[in-house]
A = this chain, B = another copy of it.
Amino acid sequence: MKNIDPEWNNFRNISDGGDGFPSDMKYSIKFHDKNEVIFRQGDLCDALNILMTGSVKTEMITENGNLLGIEIINAPRPLAPAFLFSGNNRFPVDVTTLEDVEILRIPKDEVIRLMTSQPDFMQQFLIHNANRTQFLTNRLQLLSIKTIKGKIAHFLLEQAGEHGDTFTLNRNQTELADFFGVARPSLARSLSEMIEEGIINVNKKEYKVLDKKKLRELLV
């Protein structure tokens, strides 16, 4: 559930030509302020947009009007690159800036030219899209768990696997509830019960996994 895509860190290297890009590459750069909605769900997606500096959050609005938080994206990373080539090439989410950002925009035909002429660029693109698909699949798996405690268990076990039994989240309770697609008080209740049962410990945004075995049982 981490948002690190190391393969895009060498984007500048891939297309290096002195100033970081091939001298003949067509592109434009846009700047946006903090807390600005820069793309909306349904917006046409006719260029590859790469977040060069700053961070954004993506949110999906379901048809019932609820917010289903998806993820926080830190630079450098492309935004929804897969949709550049989809039949209905429209943004699947709302994109909101969390700080001042810089966006590199490469038109679609230019992307195609780069991919055919620069195999490395193509492979990075493929790898990134593959990881995105995997991310969505994980998300699907999380949402398909029906109980709140089950979702918490799935999520915390995943985090513990990556960062050890004690870790700090960058989400508050409300954001975590959105992430799980549940109501905030319901999440708080489940967390309280799990603390009561001695399975976990929570202090602000710091989480401790105390009993992995019981956590796993919650997935059953």
A residues contacting B by CB (< 8 A) are 60, 62-66, 68, 82-89, 92, 112, 115-116, 119, 122-123, 126-127, 129-134, 136-137, 139-141, 143-147, 150, 154, 181, 219-220
Contact = CB atoms under 8 A, between A and B. Distances in A.
A141 B60 contact: yes
Nearest first, the 4 A-B pairs at minimum CB distance are A86-B130, A85-B130, A82-B133, A63-B219
Contacts of A131: 86-87
Contact of A141 (B63, B115, B122, B134): B63
A220 B129 contact: no
Nearest to A136: B136
A144 B65 CA distance: 11
Contacts of A147: 64
A64 B219 CA distance: 5
Contact of A86 (B66, B122, B134, B140): B134
A130 B84 contact: yes
Contact of A181 (B126, B129, B144): B144
Contacts of A136: 133, 136-137, 140
Contacts of A130: 82-87, 89, 129
B83 A133 contact: yes
Given A122-B122, A129-B129, A133-B133, A141 B86 contact: no
A214 B198 CA distance: 47
A25 B140 CA distance: 36
A68 B144 CA distance: 7
Nearest to A220: B64
